[in-house]
Structures are given as structure tokens and as C-alpha cells.
């Protein structure tokens, strides 16, 4: 899964999402920031935030449906990289001496849930570095 997510270009995934979610299934809109006539007056310039401030729930839903597909298309690539880094960090921590000792004492794999906190520093900074990758 992580290989497919990180190997798929964002623009290709976006086109495929438009074809599937908007063309075939007709779930999401194909383009634009909002449906004509639904958004109220602009205060901040962000339709979702403006709609929330004005308590216009129909416009909130419209803004969420318009932002869903681009967010999915741009986030899947970073998700694949994040999955790969998390997996390698957890496997590295699982080979540490204290984890091997805990296994030797008879602890099950499910009780070794504390391996995520030592593995966390490596993938905590990854999303911020991903911002520069998308801009190139």
C-alpha cells in the first residue's frame, strides 16, 4: 500500500479521483471553490471558515465537498511516505535490547505498544518536510 501511495503522482491521482468520484459515482463536485450562489459574503477569503463564522451550514457542507478531493489527491502521496518511515522506525525499535528482553520474559506483541513513542521522533518531523516536496 505504501509503495502505491508514494509512487503515484498527485496530478494523476487527482485526475483519476475526478473521473471516479465526480464522473462515475457523482459524489463530489469536479471543480471550483463553491457552488454558485451558496457561499455568503467573504470575510476571511476562506469559504469554509467564512461559512462557519456565519453559521451557514449548507455552505459549510458545500465547502467541505469542494475541498475533499484536492486534499485527498495531495495527501495520499505523503501518507505513503509516512507509512514507510513509520514502519521502518517501529521495526528498528522492535530490535532494541529492552524489547527483545521483554519478549524473552514472555510479554506478548500486543502488550509492547510502547514502541511507538521511541519511534515517533523520526516521523513527527516528516510532514513538514513534505511541504517542500510538493512545491518542487
Q: Where are the domains of the chain?
A: 2-135
Query: Residue 55 burial (CB < 10 Å; 0-12/13-18/19+)?
Result: exposed
Grade residue 104 by pLDDT with cuts at 50, 70 and 90: confident
Which of 5-9, 54-58, 73-77, 116-120 has the lowest average pLDDT? Answer: 116-120
| pLDDT computed for residue 135 by the predictor | 45
Per-residue pLDDT reduced to its tens digit, 29-78? 988 888 888 878 888 888 889 999 999 999 999 999 999 999 998 888 87
pTM equals 0.68
Nearest to 65 by CA among 23, 30, 15: 30
Report which of residues 108 and 106 the model is more confident about: 106
Amino acid at each position: 500500500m505504501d509503495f502505491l501511495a508514494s509512487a503515484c503522482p498527485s496530478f494523476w491521482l487527482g485526475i483519476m479521483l475526478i473521473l471516479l468520484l465526480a464522473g462515475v459515482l457523482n459524489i463530489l463536485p469536479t471543480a471550483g471553490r463553491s457552488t454558485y450562489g451558496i457561499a455568503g459574503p467573504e470575510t476571511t477569503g476562506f469559504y469554509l471558515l467564512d461559512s462557519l463564522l456565519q453559521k451557514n451550514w449548507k455552505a459549510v457542507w458545500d465547502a467541505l465537498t469542494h475541498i475533499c478531493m484536492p486534499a485527498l489527491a495531495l495527501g495520499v502521496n505523503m501518507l505513503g511516505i509516512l507509512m514507510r518511515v513509520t514502519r521502518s522506525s517501529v521495526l528498528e525499535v522492535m530490535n532494541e535490547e529492552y524489547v527483545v528482553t521483554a519478549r524473552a520474559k514472555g510479554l506478548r506483541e500486543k502488550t509492547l505498544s510502547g514502541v511507538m513513542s521511541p519511534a515517533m521522533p523520526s516521523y513527527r518531523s516528516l510532514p513538514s518536510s513534505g511541504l517542500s516536496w510538493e512545491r518542487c
